[in-house]
Amino acid sequence: MQIIVNGEPADIREGSTVAELLEHLRIGRDRVAVEVGLEIVPKASYDSHTLSEGDRIEIVHFVGGGENRAGL
Amino acid sequence: MTTQRDTLIIAGREFNSRLMVGTGKYASFQQMVQALEVSGAEIITVAVRRVNISDRNKESLLDHIDLKKYTLLPNTAGCYTADDAVRTCRLAREAGLSDFVKLEVLGDEKTLFPDNEELLKAAKILIAEGFTVLPYCSDDVTVCRKLEDLGCAAVMPLGAPIGSGLGIRNPYNIKIILENIKVPVIVDAGVGCASDAAIAMELGCDGVLMNTAIAGAQDPIAMAEAMKLGVRAGRLSYKAGRIARKLYANASSPIEGLLG
């Protein structure tokens, strides 16, 4: 099924969870935050939260900063 | 006082260093790590951004930062509305598992001056959600008072526009803020060199936050040390209590016993 991850279309297996998506993208779950359709998915729900066709997902982390740069 | 403890307390947490530094604009992670170390800072600001999905080999900031040594202060840089800033703070808390946030809501791209109306709106929401909010704001006592009344843990008025290096352009405004605000006052933005940092501290500020002044210096490591010493010198000078300014000379050698 098609989803949008960080603004880019992505194809993942039907019924994938957030945990499976992170694994697929080789992203460690510890130091990221995940939003599905503007709602934050708590880390404790990564294994149970199932994604749906067309979901818009944001995966963010910390980068160097102190001052203004482009936003999300 | 050199031997006494003189710690900065923000929301009940104690810090030995009064210098806070950003982690952006360094030539390399190695240079950043060294500059942070030399600066002696304990609070470092970070930004929240999308993970690069297409290039997973890129190094991650937190691979280089000892989280036992530094308190991360995620910022909302690049946010122009309260909604965006609140969203960024929620993501930061989820990613970093800490309630500390440096809240900034910008008014326009050219000056990067704060949008105080949106800032107050965002601060109110975040405080209700249990965040420890450190807001970047104008050097205006009225907005600082409103932020304090909302429950912000500190106020962080600008010395000059972000990244401008113009120094403390309105020391009298900062002084008025200091006289009227009880939470820590931290000058955020505008510092260009160590004497600027010292001036902020001599005014009585509780701390100084900077990024470009260090990262953009020709030798960021040397500037990190200069800033550490500038903040320390300014703080000591403030605590020591300077002499009054006088128009005429006041000899420091005794008059008695002068050769006739």
For chain B, the helix, strand and coil percentages under 3-state DSSP, each to the nearest 5: 35, 20, 45
Counting as low any pLDDT under 50, the low residues of chain B are 1
CB pairs under 8 A between A and B: 140
Query: For A32, what's the count of Cα atoms within 13 Å in the CB-facing half-sphere?
Result: 24
Q: Using CA atoms, how far apart are residues B213 and B222, in angstroms rounded to an integer?
A: 11
- The CA distance from B132 to B31, in Å, is 30
Q: Tokens 């128009």 map to which residue?
A: B247
Phi, psi of B110 (to 5 degrees): -80, -45
Q: How far apart are alpha carbons B77 and B112 in whole angstroms?
A: 10
CB contact under 8 A, A62 and B54: no
Over its C-alpha atoms, chain A yields an Rg (Å, rounded) of 13
The angle formed by the CA atoms of residues B94, B100 and B102, to the nearest 5 degrees, is 105
The kind and range of the H/E element at B19 are strand B19-22
Distance of CA A34 to the CA centre of its chain: 4
Each residue of B85-121: pLDDT tens digit? 999 999 999 998 789 999 999 999 999 999 999 999 9
Nearest-angstrom CA–CA distance, B214 and A68? 16
In the prediction, which pLDDT does B52 show?
87
Which residues are CB-contacts of B128 (< 8 A; sequence separation ≥ 6)?
none
Is the separation of the CB atoms in B147 and B102 below 8 Å? no
Chain A closest-CA separation from residue B234 CA (Å): 23
Looking at residue B75, the DSSP 8-state letter turns out to be: B
Question: A8 and chain B: CB distance < 8 Å anywhere?
Answer: yes
Predicted confidence at residue B97, as pLDDT, reads: 77
Tallying the residues shown for chain A, one arrives at 72
Residue B62: its pLDDT value, please? 87
Nearest CA in chain A to B45: A66
Strand partners, B186: B207
Token output for A58: 């944001």
Task: Please list the active-site residues of B.
Answer: 102
The per-residue pLDDT for range A3-60, each reduced to its tens digit, is 999 999 999 999 999 999 999 998 988 889 999 999 999 999 999 999 999 999 999 9
pTM metric for this prediction? 0.91
The beta-carbon neighbor of B212 closest among A32, A58, A67 is A67
pLDDT at A68 over 70: no
Per the CB < 8 A criterion, the answer to whether B21 and B41 are in contact is yes
**pLDDT of A70 higher than 50:** no
What's the confidence (pLDDT) of residue B114? Answer: 96
From first CA to last CA, the distance across chain A in angstroms is 25
The pLDDT score that the predictor gives to residue B254 is: 85
- Asked whether the ipTM of the predicted complex exceeds the cut of 0.85, the reply is yes
Any long-range contacts for B54-59 (C-beta under 8 Å, 24+ apart)? Answer: B54/A8, B56/A25, B56/A26, B56/A27, B59/B29
Closest CA in chain B for residue A43: B94
